[in-house]
Structure 1
Amino acid sequence: MILLQVNQLSKYFAADLILANIKFEIQTNDRVALVGRNGAGKSTLLKIIAGYESHDGGDIILPKGTSIGYLAQNTGLESEKSIWEEMLAVFDELRSMEKELRRLEETMSDPGILSNEAEYARILKDYDLCQVQFKEQGGYQYEADIRSVLHGLNFQSFDYSTKISTLSGGQKTRLALAKLLLTRPDILILDEPTNHLDIDTLSWLEQYLQGYDGAILIVSHDRYFLDKVVNQVYEISRHQLIKFPGNYSSYLHQKAVNYDRDLKLYEKQQDEISKLQDFIQRNLARASTTKRAQSRRKQLEKIDRVDRPLADEKSASFSFQIERQSGNDVLRVDALSVGYHNQPVSKDITFHLSRGDSTALVGPNGVGKSTLLKTIVEKLPSIAGSIQYGSHVSIGYYDQEQAELSSNKRVLNELWDEHPLKSEKEIRTVLGNFLFSGDDVLKIVSTLSGGEKARLALAKLMLQNSNFLILDEPTNHLDLDSKEVLENALIDYPGTILFVSHDRYFINRIATKVLELNRSGATEYLGDYNYYVEKKLEQEELQALARQAAIAAGKVTESVKQDKTSYEQDKEAKKLERQRKRRMEEVEALIDKLETEAAEYEELLCDPNIFQDHEKAAEIHSKIESLKEKIDELMEEWTELA
């Protein structure tokens, strides 16, 4: 079923054309990514579709009753209610229906109604209709749904009575996403939904969206996320929209193949045209060949000329070099505690970096990843432990907050003042490679956008020629093309890298090691992000198996754990997975059974004989409430298992 049609849509900002002749449609269960450079009009198009911004031409067609839910970038939930109250507000209609059911039950138990057969039949019919609607719309599970979504978006440790107004900006953004997911609109429109989400929360959101009943339209710079979620990609380029079936990686492949194909067709036609023109010039004046030349001229005139395919729009272009190579040992961290005002955020951190390592530092939000980097570069004092740098180590640091880029200097001077021996031409060339051209270099630094500040910070970093790069979220604010350029530059970098990133696609391309930080230390994994995820799953399965074995046997000795062979561990992990699936099936069956029981008890309450016996009616009410509690518990268990 078609949920949305956009026909010949256009949009101007003043005299500047932003979108032209945009045409596409969205059907039920479509998962659509909207990609393009910063400033291409992606967010503008989402706002127009969601009804938050006007358009200058074309049509947007929605079938009657189609609902749209829209989450803008960095939109925080502003409310004086508690977390639980605000989430419950999504289900006001269901809660009203629940109150109506209770009211009808009380009415039917009234002796005056019981004695009036016609009135009782009418109320009973209303009650049956209301009960069916209540069940179909999830009336028995909406509280479990709220807990599931809040748990998935990392609010499991929160007191749900906490006032939303007391939360941080990132927490409010996650709550806005939670509330939108609970509304379950027909078309879910998300503009950068992965901002403020750690890797575990991103994984949960991916799974949730994969099973979403409606259609999804997403703008995101998280390529790993797009690969997992979407099945169509629309690219906005030069005001136009181009469709590519498949996920993000498929889009990149198709785009490259299409360009190569179109370029070959263009070059082949140009070669054919050149040969025809050459023949005509050489033979038109000769009597013996003039007819053949005229025939070729007609052939040339009939050719349907192919335009040269447009190459990608200009991308940043840079590489990182080093002035002097470091020793083999670059960094040793031993029993380090980091934090603020002598209050540790994370402690007992021990790890070692060698020359050429490219190490991703991962962990949940708030565990101290940025704090650790700032401590290593001596922007924060350590609380305990030691940090030792190797010989000839020179550090280049990229701050995710770009706190140092708030000056009132012009872009040109921001770079030139740090490298006064370079000529203006050299500085302008460097800035040009980072897409600062013409009058852009005269902009005031403090007025730059997030993406412009990110490119300027990378330009400054490049000119340092450091042999040890420490990068805190380097891909934030970069568009997809700039991310790819940065990745290629770091892959070719001959030095050592330690970086924090929530971009799993970026981690996969750059990392040779993953360092997982927690409150009480750090664990090293040799490999990229996918390897890290596999090892974590194996560990979790074995830990769960160990817990089950401990429950069954009373205890499991340490020696038994150590003596298990890899074959036995693999066998046990597979056994655990089978047990998990069986338990999920059991829980689903139990939920169905309990919901059926609850519905049967609800029907019993319609029986006049039951209503006349208030003790029986109260007993049945009690059983219904007990069943609802069990259903909620089972829904939570199912969510954990899934």
Structure 2
Amino acid sequence: MSIVHVENLTHFYGDQLVFKDIEFRLLNKEKVGLVGPNGAGKSTLLKILSGQLLPDYGSISWLPNKQIGYLEQHIELKKGTSILDFLKSAFQHLYDMEGEMLGITNKMAICNEVELDGLLKRYSLIQDILEAQDFYLIDSKIEDVSSGLGILALGLDRDVAQLSGGQRTKLLLAKLLLTEPDILLLDEPTNYLDYEHIVWLKDYLINYKKSFILISHDTHFLNEVVNVIFHLEHKHLTRYVGDYQAFLEAYELRKHQIHIAYSKQQQEIHKLETYIQKNKVRSSTSKQAKSREKKLAKIERIEKPVGNLHPRYSFHVSERPVSTIIETKDIIVGYTYPLLPSFNFTLKRGEKVAIVGHNGIGKSTLLKTMMGEINPLSGTISIGDNVRPSYFEQEWHTPVEQTPMDYIWSMHEQMNQKEIRQALARAGINKEHILQPLHTLSGGEQTKVRLCQLMLEKSNWLILDEPTNHLDVQAKEALALALKQYEGTLLIVSHEPEFYEEWCTNVLNLEDCR
């Protein structure tokens, strides 16, 4: 049975076509991985399915009474609300019913016999609903999900206003999972999750009794949890049955077959057109030429296969710095209170160090302190001579109404338009997005623009805070290769060991500093 039936779905952003004539059915208990390059429209499609956006054309037909759960990133978290109260709000409708049941209890004490019969029936009905919905297991459910996603360690009495961006995202995900909707719409849920929490989420989704559509660039994760792939590429969506690995094999075969079919058809078209051109004006052969014209007109043209833009990242060392890049002595990082005990750290020229530790331990705060954006609570930081850092922050406030072209130009006024376009293309930005406002681009495309800016900077020390968040598979592979070949010094915060373990020289685990 189809939970949702999508027909002829077409969407534009301004005059730019995002996707065209998308059609699919989602069956009960299907677990779908929605994949494709950055900017293909994956997040836009989820927003349309959730009702956050309206499509320009097409229809979406949901099975009646099906609950849709969408991970909304922009929900206001009210100051003064504890984590526990926020998570309990996932069951607000059940708490309301419990309140009604308690009210019925009070009414029973003062009602007559006629009213009592009706009240007893209503009381019994509510109790049955609460038991069927596992109302009396809510505390246990909250504890399980909170523990699995690493929220329990934050303290359930903590004010939601005190949470970092990553902690906030985990909290929103936890609440969504607690609602157990008929279909989950998840947009990169593994971002900001530590390894053990990704493992927990993987097991949760494997055992999920209902359906979901999941966007993720973590191919290992996809392989474990999905049984169907929706591939969104070049404005069209194609359905593949199986996990991500099965999709890759089928996709390569399909692409090869399309190339062969297109090539054969072009040869046939060329042969027909040549014959028509030579024989149309001759009276002896004009009849045959007209027959071939009709045959040519009836040919259903295969679209020319279009390749994806492959990023080519490269980071160059502007000048050779001294041997010690940065040295900290008895440093304590934090805002009002310390996040970590004091520790010493020295980074030598040419080292590539990955900083790891659970979410919220202070990885980003440490980088901000090293960059001088916040002061250490105590201790000293010394940066060597001729050290030129380039810093990629995890959280980025998108410039209002600036396009990728504007953004790069504002940083490098000496460059002309052609040079900027070429630089953005090397970073993996399609020409149709170069003049589109940055805030309308996908998270992955925004990251590519920022990486383009880093490539153009004169530096000898890269500081990268979760640069792979939102990047598609090809961009991630290209970035890993560039960092492997980079001849400078590197500090990186990453939750993906498979991304950095081939080329990093050391790992700084902040758990060991406690």
Relative to the length of structure 1, the TM-score reads 0.62
Superposed counterparts of 1:527-538, under 5 Å: none
User: Does residue 229 of the first structure (1) align with residue 222 of the second (2)?
Assistant: no
Q: Is 2:333 the partner of 1:339?
A: yes
Match of 1:498 in 2: 491
Q: What do you get for the CA RMSD once the two structures are aligned?
A: 5.2
Q: CA deviation at 1:184?
A: 0.7
Q: CA deviation at 1:499?
A: 0.9
In structure 2, the partner of 1:187 is: 183
- Number of residue-to-residue matches in the alignment: 506
Give the match for residue 629 of structure 1: none
CA drift of 1:471 comes to 1.5
Deviations along 1:30-60, whole A, 9 cap, x unmatched?
2212234454333332233223333343332
1:474 aligns with one of 462, 467, 479:
467
SS of equivalent residue, structure 1 residue 414: helix
- The question of whether the paired residues in 1 share the 8 Å contact of 2:259 and 2:305 is answered with no
Task: State the match for 1:485 in structure 2.
Answer: 478
Match of 2:4 in 1: 4
CA distance in 1, matches of 2:162, 2:374: 27
Whole-Å separation in 1 of the counterparts to 2:141 and 2:477: 38
Shift in alpha-carbon separation, 1:441–1:33, aligned structure 2, 3 A: closer
1:238 and 2:234 are equivalent in the alignment: yes
Distance 1:349 1:230 in 2: 43
Matches within 5 A, 1:429-468: 429-434=422-427, 454-464=447-457, 466-468=459-461
SS of 1:25's partner is strand
**Contact kept? 2:37, 2:472, Cα under 8 Å:** yes
Match of 2:316, SS?
coil
How far off is 1:15 after superposition? Answer: 5.1
Mapping 1:551-562, distance limit 5 Å: none
Task: State which structure, 1 or 2, has the greater radius of gyration over its C-alpha atoms.
Answer: 1
How many Å separate the matches in 1 of 2:2 and 2:149? 30
**Partner SS, residue 43 of structure 1:** helix
User: Residues 408 and 453 of structure 2 are in contact (CA less than 8 Å); yes or no, is this contact kept in structure 1?
Assistant: no
State the distance in 2 between where 1:466 and 1:337 align.
25
Cross-structure match for 1:69: 69
Q: 1:116-159: CA deviations, max 9, x gaps?
A: 9xx99x99998887666544432442220112122223332455
2:316 to 293, 318, 321: 321
| 1:318 counterpart letter in structure 2 | Y
> Unmatched 5+ residue regions in structure 1?
285-289, 522-642
What residue number does 1:30 align with?
30
Contact map agreement 2:357 2:511 (CA 8 A) in 1: yes
Whichever residue aligns with residue 147 of structure 1, its letter is: E
Change over 3 Å in CA distance of 1:381–1:304 after alignment to 2: same
Alpha-carbon displacement from aligned partner over 1:328-366 (angstroms, at most 9, x marks no partner): x77686765341579643345466767765432211223
Q: How does 1:34-45 map to 2 (within 5 A)?
A: 34-45=34-45
The Cα of 1:462 is off from its aligned counterpart by: 1.9
**Equivalence for 1:399:** 393
Distance 1:30 1:61 in 2: 17
Q: Name the one with the larger helix percent.
A: 1
- 3-state SS of 1:213 partner: coil
Cα distance in 1 for partners of 2:431, 2:46 equals 31
Distance in 1, matches of 2:401 and 2:93, equals 52
Among all aligned residue pairs of Structure 1 and Structure 2, give the percentage whose two residues are the same amino acid: 35
Q: 2 CA distance for matches of 1:475 and 1:235?
A: 21
**Are residues 269 and 505 of structure 1, via their aligned partners in 2, closer, same or farther at CA, if it must alter by over 3 Å?**
farther
CA contact (8 A) 1:76 1:175 kept: no
The residue aligned with 2:305 is 310
The one-letter code matched in structure 2 to 1:22 is I
Residue in structure 2 matched with residue 152 of structure 1 by the alignment: 148
Q: TM-score, normalised by structure 2?
A: 0.75
Q: How does 1:120-135 map to 2 (within 5 A)?
A: 133-135=129-131
Partner of 2:206: 210
In 2, Cα distance between the equivalents of 1:357 and 1:374? Answer: 19
Q: How far apart in 2 are the matches of 1:440 and 1:7?
A: 27
Q: SS of the counterpart of 1:178? A: helix
User: For the structure 1 residues 333 and 184, does the alpha-carbon distance in structure 2 shift closer, same or farther, using more than 3 Å as the test?
Assistant: same
Q: Which one scores higher on RCO, CA 8 angstroms, separation ≥ 6?
A: 2
**CA distance, structure 2, for counterparts of residue 101 and residue 423 of structure 1:** 71
CA 1:95–1:439 in structure 2 vs 1: closer, same or farther (change >3 Å)? closer
Residues of 2 paired with 1:331 and 1:276: CA distance?
68
The match for 1:545 is: none
Alpha carbons of structure 1 residues 357 and 98: separation in structure 2 relative to 1, 3 Å: same
Structure 1 residues 250 and 53 mapped into 2: Cα distance closer, same or farther (>3 Å)?
same
Cα distance between partner residues in 2 of 1:444 and 1:96: 44
1:44 counterpart letter in structure 2: T
SS in 2 for 1:20: strand
Post-superposition Cα deviations, 1:206-260, rounded to whole Å, max 9, x if no partner, equal: 3222222211112344445434433322222333212233344544444334323
Cα separation, partners in 2 of 1:250 and 1:158, compared to 1, 3 Å: same
Does the 8 A contact of 1:338 with 1:368 survive in 2? Answer: no
Whether the 8 Å CA contact 1:223–1:505 is kept in 2: the answer is: no
Deviations 1:12-41 (A, max 9, x none): 455554342221122222221223445433
Amino acid of the residue matched to residue 146 of structure 1? I
Q: What does 1:610-629 align with in structure 2 at a 5 Å threshold?
A: none
**Distance between the aligned counterparts of 1:10 and 1:427, measured in 2?**
31
